[in-house]
Amino acid sequence: MALLGFGNILLLLLLFGNSLGAPGSFSVDYKKDCFRKDGEEFRFISGSIHYSRIPRVYWKDRLLKMYMAGLNAIQTYIPWNYHEESPGQYSFSGERDMEYFLQLAQDIGLMVILRPGPYICGEWDMGGLPAWLLNKKDIVLRSSDPDYIAAVDKWMGKLLPMIKPYLYQNGGPIITVQVENEYGSYFACDYNYMRHLTKLFRSHLGEEVVLFTTDGAGLKFLKCGSIQGVYATVDFGPGNVTAAFNAQRHAEPHGPLVNSEYYTGWLDHWGSPHFFVSSAAVAKSLNEMLAMGANVNMYMFIGGTNFGYWNGANSPYGPQPTSYDYDAPLSEAGDLTKKYFAIRDVIKMYRKMPEGPIPPTTPKYGYGTVGLKRLQTISDALEILSFSGPVKSIYPQTFIELNQAFGYVLYRTKLPVNCNTPTPLSSPLNGIHDRAYVSVDGVAVGIIERNKALTVNVTGKGGSQVDILVENMGRINYGRDINDFKGLVSNLTLGKDTLTGWTMYSLSIDEAVSQGLLGETKPTVPSPPAALSLPTFYEGSFIIPDGIPDLPQDTYIKLPKWGKGQVWINGFNLGRYWPSRGPQVTLYVPASILSNAVPNNVTVLELEDAPCGPGPCSVEFTDTPILNGPVQSDFKQQRRLFSKDDLL
């Protein structure tokens, strides 16, 4: 009978093409202060990898490199807004095939620590929460607010049943599942919400699964973050390991020591220097934790890339750049670094290392300079870019009211009066979220930026057309300001008057770029060189050279002397560039979006000014990334290190 049963399972596995293993057990042992897997003492040495930040074709390579570093587990987030971009429209295929990712991890021999949110932070737009939750203006996110709970219940009702077969108990790789994320750092401190989530997770996943929470290694975080029946873990970077684990022991006097986010590096912001954290410091504290028998997840093991519009921001408003390299042991492009080998050398002392070669760093290629020609400006191309047509209202509406989540919206109105002398056009309530490119009668006049520059001077006759292109630079992902509405979120004034009579164009730029709809610019009288131009598209193409083996390879695009904007290759949105603000200078271009067969098309939306002059403009493809270029701002973000004050 048993044999027959086993045969049937095998047959089923073959039929359904997945290779989940035999059911097992995984639990917390409070007597021996450890995890138990199939009855045996188990300790994870894990690394964070976010499938949403790595092209699918590279998932296997990155996971294999993690396995070869001696890891026996990985940790990943599930970003809700990535899988449900509009209510009830779920997307789990292609690049978003989370199940395939879990399956790959298992096939390679890695356990999975899953962090399904609903909130994930992660320097990801709005901490993974879908912006459409803001349809209810005063929603209290991450709380018992009934509208929030209803959306969470529905999402988890879709997601968790998909996860269930991948639990270790059911033959899958998932050993533990996190509830919420660093909830103790959030102001709401709503125990009913955490209890509700716990019940919800248990109702879908069963009573056996090990649920856990993660909070900063300090009592003030654990106070609101931990909840009875869910195992409390902590996160902290290199430093005093003993002191940090003492904090966990306050919440969990017994059970395994767990650092769920051991920081191998740190995140960047536009306008502040790139972070480096020394390999020696990372290796030292890792060694100390492993010597104590602790479980460690390294955050990040590979950071990857915020393609498209997915980066988040911190408060006071400071958006994160496109690269999420994190100074992690595997670079943004999956390259083996000195830190990788330093970590591997530590792990070697505690675990038998897997046999076989480490997958090599993938080669990069510099395709050289590519000339770009000027296409239409945003204002010229409105018909093409605004599929849904304009919306009119007296006062400005936000992105959400216009049913747009990401990217750019053009707000148009008229000067109500003659402005013969420079007259301030202002956002007195700091309501431009996040950056606006202002023009009057087709002439660029200035930039308004959230928290930084709230006024531009304009001149012009009454009735002149005012175009204000507003860029959403990424929603705040941490803290009490995560209800981050975009667009014009308060009225603009001209002198003492409130501007009214708006026509607003939601722009579907990605669709227009990928369908090749943008046309060339209509010939204009050459204008004198200005510091600022209208937001304008540029386009060019390049061919992968013949006769060089193994092309196309990964590359980096560099836009020397360009201002700020967005870049696509073959319709794939690589993300934002802003070399004038820094520190990121090059953008990662995975080979998977390049073609050998036909010319590769580069499209750039330059928001400020392209370095073209009378001649052609160009971009460069280089084989070397630059993430630590000069910065031009005073924005400072404190690196979160463990401090003794956290224990008070």
Active site residues: 182, 261
Nearer to ligand NAG, 74 or 372 (CB): 372
CA distance 212 to 198: 10
User: Rounded to the nearest whole angstrom, what is the least distance from the CB of residue 237 to ligand NAG in the complex?
Assistant: 14
Q: What does the block give as tokens for 609?
A: 């000014």
User: Rounded to the nearest whole angstrom, what is the least distance from the CB of residue 362 to ligand NAG in the complex?
Assistant: 20
| Distance from the Cα of residue 105 to its chain's centroid | 21
User: Rounded to the nearest whole angstrom, what is the least distance from the CB of residue 15 to ligand NAG in the complex?
Assistant: 37
Q: Which residue is nearest to ligand NAG (CB)?
A: 243
Nearer to ligand NAG, 260 or 285 (CB): 285
Nearer to ligand NAG, 233 or 398 (CB): 398
Residues 6+ apart with CB under 8 A from 321: 268, 269, 270, 306, 311, 576, 578, 583, 584
List the one residue out of 335, 346, 294, 271 whose CA is nearest residue 564: 271
Residues near ligand NAG, by CB under 6 A: 240, 242-243, 246, 395-396, 422, 424, 455-457, 490-491, 498, 516, 541, 570, 595, 598-601
Q: What does the block give as tokens for 368?
A: 């050289």
Nearer to ligand NAG, 7 or 516 (CB): 516
Instruction: Tell me how crowded residue 456 is: count the other CB atoms within 10 A of its CB.
Output: 21
User: Rounded to the nearest whole angstrom, what is the least distance from the CB of residue 397 to ligand NAG in the complex?
Assistant: 8
532-543 burial by CB neighbour count: b if 16+ within 10 A, else e? Answer: bbbbbbbbbebe
Nearer to ligand NAG, 160 or 243 (CB): 243
User: Rounded to the nearest whole angstrom, what is the least distance from the CB of residue 606 to ligand NAG in the complex?
Assistant: 20
Q: Pairing between strand 73-77 and 111-115?
A: parallel
Judged by DSSP in three states, 387 sits in coil
Nearer to ligand NAG, 317 or 411 (CB): 411
CA distance 317 to 576: 17
Residue 430 amino acid letter: N
Q: What does the block give as tokens for 622?
A: 């280089």
Residues 6+ apart with CB under 8 A from 38: 24, 25, 26
Nearer to ligand NAG, 200 or 419 (CB): 419
CA distance 78 to 95: 13
Nearer to ligand NAG, 8 or 596 (CB): 596
User: Rounded to the nearest whole angstrom, what is the least distance from the CB of residue 247 to ligand NAG in the complex?
Assistant: 10
User: Rounded to the nearest whole angstrom, what is the least distance from the CB of residue 477 to ligand NAG in the complex?
Assistant: 24
Residues 6+ apart with CB under 8 A from 550: 363
Q: What is the DSSP string of 76-132?
A: EE--HHHH-SBTTB---SGGG-HHHHHHHHHHHT-EEEEE--S---TTBGGGG--GG
User: Rounded to the nearest whole angstrom, what is the least distance from the CB of residue 539 to ligand NAG in the complex?
Assistant: 9
List the one residue out of 282, 270, 287, 363 whose CA is nearest residue 327: 282
